Structure 1
Protein backbone atom coordinates (compact mmCIF):
# COMPACT_ATOMS: atom_id res chain seq x y z
CA UNK A 1 0.00 0.00 0.00
CA UNK A 2 2.76 2.47 0.91
CA UNK A 3 4.47 2.04 -2.46
CA UNK A 4 1.24 2.95 -4.23
CA UNK A 5 0.62 6.04 -2.10
CA UNK A 6 4.05 7.57 -2.75
CA UNK A 7 4.21 6.72 -6.47
CA UNK A 8 4.61 9.96 -8.45
CA UNK A 9 2.70 8.35 -11.32
CA UNK A 10 -0.32 7.49 -9.19
CA UNK A 11 -2.78 9.63 -11.12
CA UNK A 12 -1.69 8.00 -14.39
CA UNK A 13 -2.29 4.55 -12.90
CA UNK A 14 -5.74 5.62 -11.72
CA UNK A 15 -6.53 7.19 -15.09
CA UNK A 16 -5.61 3.98 -16.92
CA UNK A 17 -7.84 1.98 -14.57
CA UNK A 18 -10.76 4.38 -15.15
CA UNK A 19 -10.39 4.19 -18.93
CA UNK A 20 -10.34 0.37 -18.79
CA UNK A 21 -13.46 0.34 -16.62
CA UNK A 22 -15.29 2.68 -18.98
CA UNK A 23 -14.34 0.50 -21.95
CA UNK A 24 -16.16 -2.47 -20.35
CA UNK A 25 -19.14 -0.50 -19.06
CA UNK A 26 -22.56 -2.13 -19.49
CA UNK A 27 -25.41 0.01 -20.78
CA UNK A 28 -28.94 -0.27 -19.35
CA UNK A 29 -31.77 1.49 -21.19
CA UNK A 30 -34.39 1.41 -18.43
CA UNK A 31 -35.72 3.55 -16.95
CA UNK A 32 -33.31 5.82 -18.88
CA UNK A 33 -29.85 5.25 -20.37
CA UNK A 34 -27.35 4.45 -17.62
CA UNK A 35 -24.11 2.55 -17.43
CA UNK A 36 -22.86 0.17 -14.76
CA UNK A 37 -19.10 0.14 -14.28
CA UNK A 38 -16.85 -2.20 -12.33
CA UNK A 39 -13.27 -2.13 -11.05
CA UNK A 40 -12.92 1.62 -11.46
CA UNK A 41 -9.82 2.08 -9.32
CA UNK A 42 -6.75 -0.06 -8.73
CA UNK A 43 -7.62 -2.18 -5.70
CA UNK A 44 -5.12 -0.46 -3.38
CA UNK A 45 -6.55 2.93 -4.36
CA UNK A 46 -10.13 1.80 -3.69
CA UNK A 47 -9.07 0.47 -0.26
CA UNK A 48 -7.32 3.73 0.56
CA UNK A 49 -10.37 5.75 -0.48
CA UNK A 50 -12.61 3.65 1.75
CA UNK A 51 -10.27 4.30 4.67
CA UNK A 52 -10.22 8.11 4.42
CA UNK A 53 -10.91 9.66 7.81
CA UNK A 54 -13.75 12.10 7.17
CA UNK A 55 -16.50 12.74 9.70
CA UNK A 56 -19.95 11.29 9.03
CA UNK A 57 -23.06 13.48 9.46
CA UNK A 58 -25.07 13.73 12.65
CA UNK A 59 -27.41 10.72 12.75
CA UNK A 60 -30.18 13.01 13.99
CA UNK A 61 -29.99 15.37 11.02
CA UNK A 62 -32.96 15.71 8.65
CA UNK A 63 -32.73 14.02 5.28
CA UNK A 64 -34.35 13.86 1.85
CA UNK A 65 -31.88 16.19 0.11
CA UNK A 66 -28.09 16.21 0.26
CA UNK A 67 -28.02 19.98 0.72
CA UNK A 68 -29.63 19.48 4.12
CA UNK A 69 -26.29 17.99 5.22
CA UNK A 70 -24.13 20.84 3.87
CA UNK A 71 -22.14 21.18 7.10
CA UNK A 72 -20.99 17.55 6.78
CA UNK A 73 -20.23 17.38 3.07
CA UNK A 74 -16.66 16.75 1.93
CA UNK A 75 -15.12 17.63 -1.44
CA UNK A 76 -11.83 16.81 -3.12
CA UNK A 77 -11.03 20.50 -3.47
CA UNK A 78 -8.90 23.27 -2.02
CA UNK A 79 -6.66 22.25 0.87
CA UNK A 80 -8.31 18.82 1.05
CA UNK A 81 -6.36 17.88 -2.08
CA UNK A 82 -3.21 17.96 0.03
CA UNK A 83 -4.56 15.72 2.81
CA UNK A 84 -3.58 12.54 0.96
CA UNK A 85 -1.79 11.61 -2.27
CA UNK A 86 -4.81 9.40 -2.99
CA UNK A 87 -7.18 12.39 -2.95
CA UNK A 88 -5.03 14.45 -5.29
CA UNK A 89 -4.30 11.43 -7.48
CA UNK A 90 -8.00 10.69 -7.95
CA UNK A 91 -8.74 14.34 -8.76
CA UNK A 92 -5.90 14.52 -11.27
CA UNK A 93 -7.07 11.30 -12.90
CA UNK A 94 -10.62 12.58 -13.42
CA UNK A 95 -9.13 15.81 -14.80
CA UNK A 96 -6.99 13.89 -17.31
CA UNK A 97 -8.04 14.36 -20.98
CA UNK A 98 -8.02 10.61 -21.72
CA UNK A 99 -10.50 9.95 -18.90
CA UNK A 100 -12.78 12.84 -19.85
CA UNK A 101 -12.68 11.74 -23.48
CA UNK A 102 -13.45 8.12 -22.60
CA UNK A 103 -16.54 9.19 -20.63
CA UNK A 104 -17.70 11.58 -23.33
CA UNK A 105 -17.30 8.89 -26.00
CA UNK A 106 -19.14 6.26 -23.96
CA UNK A 107 -22.23 8.24 -23.03
CA UNK A 108 -22.31 11.10 -25.53
CA UNK A 109 -21.98 13.84 -22.94
CA UNK A 110 -20.69 17.33 -23.74
CA UNK A 111 -17.83 17.55 -21.25
CA UNK A 112 -15.26 19.81 -22.92
CA UNK A 113 -14.67 23.00 -20.87
CA UNK A 114 -16.66 21.71 -17.88
CA UNK A 115 -15.30 21.64 -14.33
CA UNK A 116 -14.62 18.69 -12.04
CA UNK A 117 -16.53 18.29 -8.77
CA UNK A 118 -15.88 15.29 -6.48
CA UNK A 119 -17.82 14.71 -3.28
CA UNK A 120 -16.89 12.08 -0.70
CA UNK A 121 -20.28 11.04 0.67
CA UNK A 122 -20.83 9.42 4.06
CA UNK A 123 -24.42 8.32 4.71
CA UNK A 124 -25.67 6.87 7.98
CA UNK A 125 -28.87 5.51 9.49
CA UNK A 126 -31.74 7.92 8.83
CA UNK A 127 -30.41 9.11 5.47
CA UNK A 128 -32.63 9.01 2.39
CA UNK A 129 -32.94 10.99 -0.85
CA UNK A 130 -36.12 11.98 -2.62
CA UNK A 131 -36.21 11.31 -6.39
CA UNK A 132 -34.42 14.06 -8.33
CA UNK A 133 -32.86 14.38 -11.79
CA UNK A 134 -29.56 16.33 -11.39
CA UNK A 135 -30.74 18.35 -14.40
CA UNK A 136 -29.20 21.80 -14.63
CA UNK A 137 -25.52 22.64 -14.60
CA UNK A 138 -24.38 19.02 -14.16
CA UNK A 139 -23.19 17.46 -17.44
CA UNK A 140 -22.46 14.01 -15.97
CA UNK A 141 -23.15 12.08 -12.77
CA UNK A 142 -20.95 9.18 -11.67
CA UNK A 143 -21.82 7.45 -8.38
CA UNK A 144 -18.90 5.31 -7.20
CA UNK A 145 -19.56 2.72 -4.49
CA UNK A 146 -17.27 1.71 -1.61
CA UNK A 147 -19.47 -0.60 0.50
CA UNK A 148 -18.60 -2.35 3.69
CA UNK A 149 -19.63 -5.98 4.21
CA UNK A 150 -23.40 -6.47 4.25
CA UNK A 151 -24.23 -3.22 2.42
CA UNK A 152 -25.10 -4.72 -0.97
CA UNK A 153 -28.69 -3.41 -0.89
CA UNK A 154 -27.67 0.23 -0.38
CA UNK A 155 -27.45 1.15 -4.06
CA UNK A 156 -29.08 4.11 -5.79
CA UNK A 157 -32.76 3.75 -6.70
CA UNK A 158 -33.92 4.58 -10.23
CA UNK A 159 -37.42 5.75 -11.10
CA UNK A 160 -39.63 6.15 -14.16
CA UNK A 161 -40.90 9.28 -12.40
CA UNK A 162 -41.35 10.31 -8.76
CA UNK A 163 -43.32 7.59 -7.03
CA UNK A 164 -42.70 5.05 -9.81
CA UNK A 165 -39.68 2.99 -8.65
CA UNK A 166 -38.04 0.90 -11.40
CA UNK A 167 -34.63 -0.45 -10.38
CA UNK A 168 -31.89 -0.40 -7.76
CA UNK A 169 -28.21 -0.50 -8.62
CA UNK A 170 -26.35 -3.13 -6.63
CA UNK A 171 -24.03 -1.46 -4.13
CA UNK A 172 -20.95 -3.38 -5.23
CA UNK A 173 -17.34 -2.79 -4.30
CA UNK A 174 -15.40 -0.38 -6.54
CA UNK A 175 -18.34 -0.21 -8.96
CA UNK A 176 -20.41 2.73 -10.19
CA UNK A 177 -23.58 4.04 -11.79
CA UNK A 178 -23.10 6.57 -14.61
CA UNK A 179 -25.62 8.71 -16.51
CA UNK A 180 -26.12 12.02 -18.29
CA UNK A 181 -28.57 14.19 -16.32
CA UNK A 182 -31.76 15.01 -18.19
CA UNK A 183 -35.38 15.74 -17.37
CA UNK A 184 -36.11 12.02 -16.82
CA UNK A 185 -33.05 10.81 -14.89
CA UNK A 186 -34.97 10.34 -11.64
CA UNK A 187 -32.86 8.74 -8.93
CA UNK A 188 -32.73 8.76 -5.14
CA UNK A 189 -32.35 6.56 -2.09
CA UNK A 190 -35.41 4.90 -0.60
CA UNK A 191 -35.52 4.95 3.21
CA UNK A 192 -34.05 1.72 4.58
CA UNK A 193 -31.69 0.62 7.34
CA UNK A 194 -28.04 1.59 6.98
CA UNK A 195 -25.59 -0.40 9.06
CA UNK A 196 -22.36 1.46 9.63
CA UNK A 197 -21.43 4.14 7.11
CA UNK A 198 -22.46 4.04 3.45
CA UNK A 199 -19.43 5.40 1.58
CA UNK A 200 -19.48 6.65 -2.00
CA UNK A 201 -17.66 9.07 -4.25
CA UNK A 202 -19.88 11.32 -6.35
CA UNK A 203 -18.24 12.73 -9.47
CA UNK A 204 -19.85 15.47 -11.54
CA UNK A 205 -18.64 17.58 -14.41
CA UNK A 206 -20.42 20.92 -14.19
CA UNK A 207 -20.73 24.02 -16.34
CA UNK A 208 -19.05 27.32 -15.60
CA UNK A 209 -22.36 28.45 -14.08
CA UNK A 210 -21.66 26.36 -10.97
CA UNK A 211 -21.68 28.92 -8.16
CA UNK A 212 -19.97 27.02 -5.34
CA UNK A 213 -16.47 27.26 -6.80
CA UNK A 214 -14.94 26.04 -3.53
CA UNK A 215 -16.41 22.60 -4.31
CA UNK A 216 -14.48 22.28 -7.58
CA UNK A 217 -11.23 20.34 -7.68
CA UNK A 218 -9.59 22.79 -10.07
CA UNK A 219 -11.84 25.87 -10.22
CA UNK A 220 -9.61 27.72 -12.67
CA UNK A 221 -8.94 24.76 -14.96
CA UNK A 222 -11.79 23.43 -17.12
CA UNK A 223 -11.31 19.90 -18.41
CA UNK A 224 -10.32 19.23 -21.99
CA UNK A 225 -10.74 16.23 -24.28
CA UNK A 226 -7.37 16.93 -25.88
Structure 2
Protein backbone atom coordinates (compact mmCIF):
# COMPACT_ATOMS: atom_id res chain seq x y z
CA UNK A 1 0.00 0.00 0.00
CA UNK A 2 1.49 3.36 -0.98
CA UNK A 3 1.45 6.49 1.20
CA UNK A 4 -1.65 7.92 -0.47
CA UNK A 5 -3.55 4.64 -0.14
CA UNK A 6 -2.59 4.29 3.52
CA UNK A 7 -3.76 7.83 4.24
CA UNK A 8 -7.04 7.18 2.42
CA UNK A 9 -7.63 4.00 4.37
CA UNK A 10 -6.73 5.65 7.65
CA UNK A 11 -9.29 8.42 7.12
CA UNK A 12 -11.91 6.41 5.18
CA UNK A 13 -14.53 6.90 7.90
CA UNK A 14 -14.29 10.72 7.68
CA UNK A 15 -16.53 12.63 5.22
CA UNK A 16 -14.60 14.10 2.30
CA UNK A 17 -13.71 17.78 2.38
CA UNK A 18 -12.16 19.02 -0.87
CA UNK A 19 -10.06 21.74 0.75
CA UNK A 20 -8.76 19.28 3.32
CA UNK A 21 -8.10 16.57 0.74
CA UNK A 22 -6.26 18.95 -1.57
CA UNK A 23 -4.08 20.27 1.21
CA UNK A 24 -3.30 16.79 2.58
CA UNK A 25 -2.18 15.70 -0.87
CA UNK A 26 -0.12 18.88 -1.23
CA UNK A 27 1.58 18.34 2.11
CA UNK A 28 2.59 14.81 1.08
CA UNK A 29 4.37 16.26 -1.96
CA UNK A 30 5.87 19.30 -0.20
CA UNK A 31 9.60 19.87 -0.46
CA UNK A 32 11.08 20.01 3.02
CA UNK A 33 14.07 22.34 3.48
CA UNK A 34 16.01 22.38 6.74
CA UNK A 35 18.34 25.40 6.51
CA UNK A 36 18.41 27.97 8.01
CA UNK A 37 15.24 26.56 9.61
CA UNK A 38 12.63 23.98 8.65
CA UNK A 39 10.20 25.07 5.97
CA UNK A 40 8.06 23.31 3.38
CA UNK A 41 7.50 24.51 -0.20
CA UNK A 42 4.04 23.85 -1.59
CA UNK A 43 2.41 23.32 -4.98
CA UNK A 44 -1.35 23.04 -5.38
CA UNK A 45 -2.18 23.99 -1.80
CA UNK A 46 -5.88 24.75 -2.42
CA UNK A 47 -8.52 23.55 -4.89
CA UNK A 48 -8.19 25.61 -8.06
CA UNK A 49 -11.83 26.68 -7.93
CA UNK A 50 -11.27 28.11 -4.45
CA UNK A 51 -8.26 30.10 -5.64
CA UNK A 52 -10.55 31.58 -8.29
CA UNK A 53 -13.25 32.25 -5.70
CA UNK A 54 -10.87 34.11 -3.41
CA UNK A 55 -9.65 36.22 -6.32
CA UNK A 56 -13.30 37.03 -7.08
CA UNK A 57 -14.10 38.26 -3.56
CA UNK A 58 -15.74 41.66 -3.50
CA UNK A 59 -13.11 42.91 -1.10
CA UNK A 60 -11.58 46.15 -2.30
CA UNK A 61 -7.81 46.46 -1.96
CA UNK A 62 -7.01 48.47 1.17
CA UNK A 63 -6.40 52.16 0.58
CA UNK A 64 -3.85 54.25 2.40
CA UNK A 65 -1.59 51.42 3.52
CA UNK A 66 1.54 52.54 5.36
CA UNK A 67 4.45 50.68 3.73
CA UNK A 68 6.92 50.62 6.61
CA UNK A 69 7.86 46.93 6.60
CA UNK A 70 5.34 45.89 9.28
CA UNK A 71 1.95 44.37 8.54
CA UNK A 72 0.50 45.24 11.96
CA UNK A 73 0.73 48.97 11.16
CA UNK A 74 -2.27 48.44 8.87
CA UNK A 75 -4.37 46.31 11.22
CA UNK A 76 -7.52 48.36 10.62
CA UNK A 77 -7.39 47.58 6.88
CA UNK A 78 -6.92 43.81 7.06
CA UNK A 79 -9.40 41.17 5.77
CA UNK A 80 -9.89 38.03 7.87
CA UNK A 81 -11.99 34.91 7.33
CA UNK A 82 -13.90 35.58 10.55
CA UNK A 83 -17.52 34.67 11.19
CA UNK A 84 -18.93 37.69 9.37
CA UNK A 85 -16.95 37.08 6.20
CA UNK A 86 -17.72 33.36 6.34
CA UNK A 87 -21.41 34.27 6.29
CA UNK A 88 -20.90 36.71 3.39
CA UNK A 89 -18.57 34.60 1.25
CA UNK A 90 -18.92 30.85 0.81
CA UNK A 91 -15.25 30.42 -0.08
CA UNK A 92 -14.21 31.81 3.30
CA UNK A 93 -16.34 29.20 5.02
CA UNK A 94 -15.09 26.37 2.77
CA UNK A 95 -11.43 27.13 3.37
CA UNK A 96 -11.97 27.61 7.11
CA UNK A 97 -13.84 24.30 7.35
CA UNK A 98 -11.03 22.57 5.48
CA UNK A 99 -8.36 23.74 7.91
CA UNK A 100 -10.54 22.94 10.91
CA UNK A 101 -10.63 19.31 9.74
CA UNK A 102 -9.07 17.09 12.42
CA UNK A 103 -7.14 15.16 9.75
CA UNK A 104 -5.46 18.35 8.58
CA UNK A 105 -4.40 19.39 12.06
CA UNK A 106 -3.15 15.90 12.91
CA UNK A 107 -1.16 15.59 9.70
CA UNK A 108 0.40 19.03 10.20
CA UNK A 109 1.49 17.96 13.67
CA UNK A 110 2.96 14.70 12.36
CA UNK A 111 4.75 16.42 9.48
CA UNK A 112 6.13 19.49 11.23
CA UNK A 113 6.34 18.51 14.89
CA UNK A 114 4.24 21.43 16.09
CA UNK A 115 1.51 21.03 18.72
CA UNK A 116 -1.87 22.40 17.62
CA UNK A 117 -3.86 21.29 20.65
CA UNK A 118 -6.06 24.10 21.95
CA UNK A 119 -5.29 26.38 19.01
CA UNK A 120 -7.64 28.53 16.92
CA UNK A 121 -7.61 29.04 13.16
CA UNK A 122 -6.80 32.47 11.73
CA UNK A 123 -6.92 33.19 7.98
CA UNK A 124 -6.12 36.48 6.27
CA UNK A 125 -6.57 37.56 2.65
CA UNK A 126 -3.82 39.99 1.65
CA UNK A 127 -3.75 42.40 -1.29
CA UNK A 128 -0.38 44.11 -1.03
CA UNK A 129 0.28 47.10 -3.32
CA UNK A 130 3.43 48.09 -5.21
CA UNK A 131 6.07 49.19 -2.73
CA UNK A 132 4.99 46.64 -0.11
CA UNK A 133 7.80 45.02 1.86
CA UNK A 134 8.31 43.29 5.20
CA UNK A 135 11.44 43.59 7.27
CA UNK A 136 13.09 40.33 8.36
CA UNK A 137 11.20 39.13 11.41
CA UNK A 138 10.04 36.06 13.29
CA UNK A 139 6.35 35.50 13.96
CA UNK A 140 5.28 35.83 17.57
CA UNK A 141 5.33 32.45 19.30
CA UNK A 142 1.60 32.48 20.04
CA UNK A 143 1.42 31.49 16.36
CA UNK A 144 1.98 27.73 16.23
CA UNK A 145 1.87 27.36 12.45
CA UNK A 146 2.25 29.74 9.49
CA UNK A 147 1.32 28.98 5.90
CA UNK A 148 1.35 31.41 2.99
CA UNK A 149 -0.47 30.61 -0.25
CA UNK A 150 0.18 32.88 -3.24
CA UNK A 151 -2.73 33.37 -5.61
CA UNK A 152 -1.69 34.95 -8.92
CA UNK A 153 0.07 33.57 -11.97
CA UNK A 154 1.81 36.81 -12.94
CA UNK A 155 5.44 37.01 -14.09
CA UNK A 156 5.63 40.54 -12.70
CA UNK A 157 5.25 39.04 -9.21
CA UNK A 158 7.82 36.26 -9.61
CA UNK A 159 10.10 37.81 -6.96
CA UNK A 160 7.26 38.67 -4.57
CA UNK A 161 7.35 35.47 -2.53
CA UNK A 162 8.53 35.11 1.05
CA UNK A 163 12.25 35.68 1.62
CA UNK A 164 14.09 33.29 3.93
CA UNK A 165 16.87 34.77 6.09
CA UNK A 166 19.47 33.75 8.57
CA UNK A 167 19.04 35.49 11.88
CA UNK A 168 21.07 38.14 13.68
CA UNK A 169 23.47 39.79 13.51
CA UNK A 170 23.55 39.94 9.71
CA UNK A 171 20.05 38.72 8.68
CA UNK A 172 21.72 37.24 5.61
CA UNK A 173 19.32 36.55 2.73
CA UNK A 174 19.16 32.85 1.83
CA UNK A 175 16.42 32.33 -0.78
CA UNK A 176 12.87 33.26 -1.78
CA UNK A 177 9.85 30.98 -1.90
CA UNK A 178 8.65 31.40 -5.47
CA UNK A 179 5.50 33.46 -5.92
CA UNK A 180 2.98 31.86 -8.29
CA UNK A 181 -0.59 30.68 -8.46
CA UNK A 182 -1.34 28.15 -5.70
CA UNK A 183 2.28 27.94 -4.59
CA UNK A 184 3.19 28.51 -0.98
CA UNK A 185 5.38 27.92 2.03
CA UNK A 186 4.91 26.56 5.56
CA UNK A 187 7.08 27.11 8.59
CA UNK A 188 6.68 26.79 12.34
CA UNK A 189 7.30 30.11 14.11
CA UNK A 190 10.41 29.97 16.26
CA UNK A 191 13.32 32.13 17.32
CA UNK A 192 15.14 31.11 14.12
CA UNK A 193 12.33 31.43 11.52
CA UNK A 194 13.47 34.77 10.08
CA UNK A 195 11.54 35.77 6.96
CA UNK A 196 10.26 38.85 5.15
CA UNK A 197 9.48 40.37 1.77
CA UNK A 198 12.31 42.30 0.20
CA UNK A 199 12.30 45.59 -1.70
CA UNK A 200 11.53 43.83 -4.97
CA UNK A 201 9.89 45.74 -7.81
CA UNK A 202 6.24 44.65 -7.66
CA UNK A 203 3.73 45.58 -10.32
CA UNK A 204 0.07 45.14 -9.44
CA UNK A 205 -1.29 43.59 -6.27
CA UNK A 206 0.56 40.83 -4.43
CA UNK A 207 -2.40 38.61 -3.49
CA UNK A 208 -2.02 35.82 -0.96
CA UNK A 209 -3.64 34.01 1.94
CA UNK A 210 -1.98 33.62 5.33
CA UNK A 211 -3.17 30.68 7.43
CA UNK A 212 -2.18 30.46 11.09
CA UNK A 213 -3.10 28.31 14.03
CA UNK A 214 -2.76 30.49 17.12
CA UNK A 215 -2.77 29.79 20.84
CA UNK A 216 -5.83 30.15 23.05
CA UNK A 217 -4.43 33.42 24.44
CA UNK A 218 -4.84 35.20 21.07
CA UNK A 219 -6.49 38.53 21.94
CA UNK A 220 -8.24 39.62 18.74
CA UNK A 221 -11.14 37.17 18.54
CA UNK A 222 -12.66 38.89 15.48
CA UNK A 223 -9.69 37.64 13.43
CA UNK A 224 -10.42 33.97 14.20
CA UNK A 225 -12.17 31.61 11.85
Q: Aligning the two structures, in what range does the TM-score lie when normalised by the shorter sequence?
A: 0.7 to 0.9
- Distance apart, 1:11 and its partner CA: 7.8
Q: Quote the offset at 1:50 in angstroms.
A: 2.0
CA displacement, residues 98-137 of structure 1 (integer Å, 9 cap, x when unaligned): 1111111111110122100001111001211111111320
Q: In the comparison of the two structures, how many residue pairs are matched?
A: 208
Alpha-carbon spacing, 1:114–1:44, altered in 2? closer, same or farther (3 Å)? same
**Residue 68 (str. 1) matches residue 73 (str. 2):** yes
Alpha-carbon separation, structure 2, partners of 1:57 and 1:11: 35
Aligned to 1:179: 187
The aligned residue for residue 160 of structure 2 is 154
Find out whether 1:135 has 2:136 as its counterpart: no
After the TM superposition, list the runs of 4 or more consecutive aligned residues in structure 1 that deviate by more than 3 angstroms: none
- The 5 A counterparts of 1:66-145 are 66-145=71-150
- Structure 2 contact 67–133 (Cα < 8 Å) conserved: no
Equivalence for 2:216: 208
Matches within 5 A, 1:180-199: 180-199=188-207
Alignment partners' CA distance in 2, 1:214 and 1:11: 28
1:205 CA drift (Å): 0.4
Question: Which residue of 1 is the match for residue 9 of structure 2?
Answer: none
Q: In structure 2, which of residues 52, 56, 72 is the aligned counterpart of residue 51 of structure 1?
A: 56
Paired residue for 2:21? 16
TM-score, length-scaled by structure 1: 0.87
> How much is the aligned-residue C-alpha RMSD, in angstroms?
1.6
Length-normalised TM-score, structure 2:
0.88
CA separation of 1:154 and 1:37: change in aligned 2, threshold 3 A: same
Partner of 1:4: none
- Aligned pair in 2 of structure 1 residues 63, 90: CA closer, same or farther (>3 Å)? same
Query: Alpha-carbon deviation of 1:53?
Result: 2.3
Unaligned runs of 5+ residues in structure 2 are: 1-14
Which secondary structure state, in structure 1, belongs to the residue aligned with residue 178 of structure 2?
coil
- Is the contact between residue 154 and residue 180 of structure 2 (CA under 8 Å) also seen in structure 1? no
